[in-house]
Amino acid sequence: MEKRIRKHFSRELEKIKKLILSLGTMVEERVRMATKAIESNDAVLAQRIIKSDYEVDEMEVDIEEECLKVLALHQPVAVDLRFIIAVIKINNELERIGDQAVNIAERVGVTAKSDQLEMFFDYSAMGEKAQDMLKLSLDALVKMDYDQAFKVVMMDDEVDAIKEQAYDRIKKAIAEHPDKIGYLINLLLISRHLERLADHATNIAEEVIYLIEGEIVRHAAYERD
């Protein structure tokens, strides 16, 4: 590439990096709000998450358009091409994390109305871990930091373990309080949404590892779904 065009391309890459980080920050905030909504059974906060999801959707569309524009104009190869394809995929994951925040908010909307049991499962650890994973995975992308990305993959096992604990406790609670079944199944699904949210963060981290290694770890034994 000619020097002037190369410089222009670098600027475009910087712009894409900034955009994907902005979306990351926006989505992180949704996850924080969703975790808080679960903890405080806050239907109003839940409604705010649902109502503002379009912002995430719009930003995802803009970022994909920007990536396509850069691909068409600069026709990058090798590392640069892989980077932009990775951003397109990560963009998709971020939008889905936003969707999971909405799914959680919808469940909270239901549980907030129901007759509840004493808080018997604390989702804050799971929610915070998912937030950390998201933060770390995006940070790993920007710094191209292998260790950080790998840490996210490991953290996913911890989230899965907490989900299993939640399942066990909720199953027992259902057996003891069959009248509260609707409420309890909503709690069960909340833990599932948090788990999937962490899965999407793991997908981002694996995309970063793939980018760094130029090697596929997406399908290693520890990962699925």
Interface with its own copies by CB under 8 A: which residues? 53-54, 57-58, 60-61, 68, 71-72, 75, 77-78, 81-82, 85, 88-89, 92, 96, 99-100, 102-103, 167, 171, 174-175, 178-179, 181-182, 185, 188, 192, 216, 218-219, 224-225
- Cβ-based nearer residue to its own copies, 51 or 143: 51
Q: Least distance to its own copies from the beta carbon of 137, Å? A: 17
Q: Least distance to its own copies from the beta carbon of 167, Å? A: 7
What phi and psi values does residue 116 have, to the nearest 5 degrees? -100, 160
- Cβ-based nearer residue to its own copies, 151 or 167: 167
Cβ atoms 223, 101 nearer than 8 A:
no
Cβ atoms 60, 94 nearer than 8 A:
yes
Q: Least distance to its own copies from the beta carbon of 92, Å? A: 7
Cβ atoms 43, 108 nearer than 8 A:
yes
- Cβ-based nearer residue to its own copies, 130 or 148: 130
User: Exposed, middle or buried: residue 118 (CB in 10 Å: 0-12, 13-18, 19+)?
Assistant: exposed
- Cβ-based nearer residue to its own copies, 28 or 99: 99
Q: Least distance to its own copies from the beta carbon of 28, Å? A: 19
Cβ atoms 38, 190 nearer than 8 A:
yes
- Cβ-based nearer residue to its own copies, 44 or 81: 81
Q: Least distance to its own copies from the beta carbon of 13, Å? A: 16
Closest CA to 139 of 55, 85, 208, 43: 208
- Cβ-based nearer residue to its own copies, 124 or 222: 222
- CA–CA gap between residue 11 and residue 115 (Å, rounded): 55
Buried b (16+ CB within 10 A) or exposed e, 89-100: ebbebbbbbbbb
Cβ atoms 36, 101 nearer than 8 A:
no
- Non-local CB neighbours of 21 within 8 Å, separated by 6+ positions: 138, 142
Q: Least distance to its own copies from the beta carbon of 162, Å? A: 17
Q: Least distance to its own copies from the beta carbon of 77, Å? A: 4
- Cβ-based nearer residue to its own copies, 46 or 148: 46
